[in-house]
Structure 1
């Protein structure tokens, strides 16, 4: 793939996996548009990432706000930007017993993980079709899409949605030469640790966050998998040993959710 001819829109591209994908694409010569909540992340990107051979455009936006997605597309039009690749990376999660979680925070997670992603796929694909342009969409799901995860019930359910939505949408958009795929990383060492109530360091021995950290991946390896998935037009990409999680698909959900519950039972969050 000749990245120098590509314009890429990445949501949540200011940190973690999204930032690493941004860096790799810019290094390959792509023009990358980063839509992120934090304006300071855009400033950091402009300082840290090479402006050549690729280019960087930053847009600060809260994708959970009313009409945010349509507003983002309008902003792109006003700036004469026509991305042909979309990476739906923005996402969040909450760790804990579902009955104890703040319902406003749950709504925000579902708005970002499901609603914003779904709307953006719709408006982005419509834009490509109107321009008679081929393109790609990569939706970032999770290995949680394959397993019901107690203490991450809403998050894992949202990623089940993303994976199912991706498979269905791929068939709808194939006639327009728009490829749709899903990236399904495991726990990755990013800021999402703090968002989900985990701690990247100083975990209590044997706690949930300590156990999860033992299986976590580096963001760069996940980003490389994302690049490969787009280049090879893969429907489903799981970095590293995470591909083994697909084994759980052949097991009854009642068993896998019980297994994951027992994994966390009696442990502190951190």
Structure 2
């Protein structure tokens, strides 16, 4: 299977108003000269990014303002993206988390996490597969998951569960595809230094966080080269292999102590 060639092609990036999505959009524009469809809830952030990239990178950008926790909005993003037949690929990055005791997570917030991280992603993926998985079509989709989908993270139970679903879903669906020129990649980073982790609860964990520019670069590499399941960062990849030889209960117990320490310290401040 040939690598994706992004120059002058249209790529959808969800969750593009901040963090990993925003950085991937910047690198796709500046380095790979891709035209972009950027989607998120915050219209002002998207419009600022559009103006920045069209001026500095000389590419075209389309903005779609949408709340991807609403199924109909997720459908609209895909329908607008494929309407003119020019969509070449999609990076489904939008996601939310909760760091704290699961019993303290309000049910409405849990449902929002589930709808954004799972239901919206599945609905968009379903539509994209129907669009691309046919003879003569060329393209790729990347689902942004997490290492938390491999090794459940205490105090991020809901987030870990949604990412485990996305990893299993994306990997399984990859092997159902019939078009050899279409691929589904699952990208599974560890912690990343973004707006999502920029609060006191993560203070004790920030030494583990990967710079967002590095994570974005490796994510785009995984997308272009059509990786099946890709973990960025050499230490993360080594750790991922090594942890498979340890009991998951042991790993989760060790992580629980580290995360609880960070959470408790933030609550005391």
Please give the TM-score of this superposition, normalised by the length of structure 2. 0.89
For residues 153 and 108 of structure 1, what CA distance do their matches in structure 2 show?
Answer: 14
Which stretch has the larger CA shift, 96-105 or 39-48? 39-48
The alpha carbon displacement at 1:133 in A equals 0.8
- Give 1:175 deviation, angstroms: 3.7
From 211, 219, 229, give the equivalent of 2:222. 229
Report SS of the residue matched to 2:193.
coil
Using the alignment, how far apart are the partners of 2:190 and 2:257 within structure 1?
Answer: 19
Aligned to 1:10: 13
The CA distance in 1 between the partners of 2:99 and 2:92, in whole Å, is 22
Q: Deviations over 1:109-131 (max 9, x none)?
A: 11111111111111011112358
Q: Which structure 2 residues correspond to residues 6-155 of structure 1 after superposition, within 5 A?
A: 6-27=9-30, 28-51=32-55, 52-78=57-83, 80=84, 82-129=86-133, 132-155=136-159
Q: Which has the larger displacement, 144-153 or 229-238?
A: 229-238
Worse overlay, 44-53 or 155-164: 44-53
- Equivalent residue for 1:216, pick from 199, 209, 220: 209
Separation of aligned partners in 2, 1:168 and 1:174: 13
Q: d(CA) in 1 for partners of 2:178 and 2:255? A: 36
> The residue matched to 1:172 in structure 2 has which SS?
coil
| Superposed CA offset, 1:30-57 (max 9, x none) | 1110011110111210232244442111
> Does residue 248 of structure 1 match 2:252?
no
Distance 1:2 1:75, change over 3 A: closer
Distance 2:179 2:71 in 1: 31
Structure 2: gaps of 5 or more residues: none
1:131-173, Cα deviation, whole Å (9 max, x unpaired): 8412111111111112111100010111111111111011112
1:186 aligns to what?
190
Q: 1:81 Cα shift?
A: 5.2
